[in-house]
Amino acid sequence: DTGVSQDPRHKITKRGQNVTFRCDPISEHNRLYWYRQTLGQGPEFLTYFQNEAQLEKSRLLSDRFSAERPKGSFSTLEIQRTEQGDSAMYLCASSPTVSGVYNEQFFGPGTRLTVL
């Protein structure tokens, strides 16, 4: 399967612990997005990368959150000192950038985080 993959699929942690999620985009896609989705809501944009450059961050991305895409391939999203309010599904998506063509976003299955 050459779709977007995310690891782990589920993570349970205790409040105050740090967690890290990984996203592997479709190989030829140079844009990578992170979203957060809480129950009953649509995904909320967190940040996106063009290759290795982080081009935009939402104000939802507090200083406890950090994302990297060191070689323009896979990306990691780290949450430090987790809080119960961080419990959510974290979705990753990727898209190509082809000028003049609509760039559909391809989503991964998500990582469900539960903070106890």
Partner 1 sequence: DAKTTQPNSMESNEEEPVHLPCNHSTISGTDYIHWYRQLPSQGPEYVIHGLTSNVNNRMASLAIAEDRKSSTLILHRATLRDAAVYYCIRFYGQNFVFGPGTRLSVLP
Give 7 or 44: the residue with its C-beta nearer to partner 1.
44
d(CA 68, CA 49): 8
Is residue 41 a contact point for partner 1 (CB under 8 A)?
Answer: yes
Of the residues 24, 44, 52, 68, which one makes contact with partner 1 according to CB under 8 A:
44
Give 18 or 106: the residue with its C-beta nearer to partner 1.
106
Q: For residue 82, which of 23, 20, 2 has the smallest C-alpha distance?
A: 20
For residue 8, say if its preceding peptide bond is cis, omega within 30 degrees of 0.
yes
Residues 15-34: x where in contact with partner 1 by CB under 8 A, - otherwise, as a string: ------------------x-
Is residue 110 a contact point for partner 1 (CB under 8 A)?
Answer: yes
Give 17 or 62: the residue with its C-beta nearer to partner 1.
62
Q: How far apart are the first and last CA of the chain?
A: 33
Q: Which amino acid is at 6?
A: Q
Number of residues that bind partner 1 (CB under 8 A): 22
Q: Which amino acid is at 106?
A: F
* Burial class for 63, CB neighbours closer than 10 Å (0-12, 13-18, 19+): exposed
Of the residues 26, 52, 72, 109, which one makes contact with partner 1 according to CB under 8 A:
109
Q: Which residues are near partner 1 by CB under 8 A? A: 4, 33, 35, 40-45, 48, 55-56, 91, 93, 102, 104-110
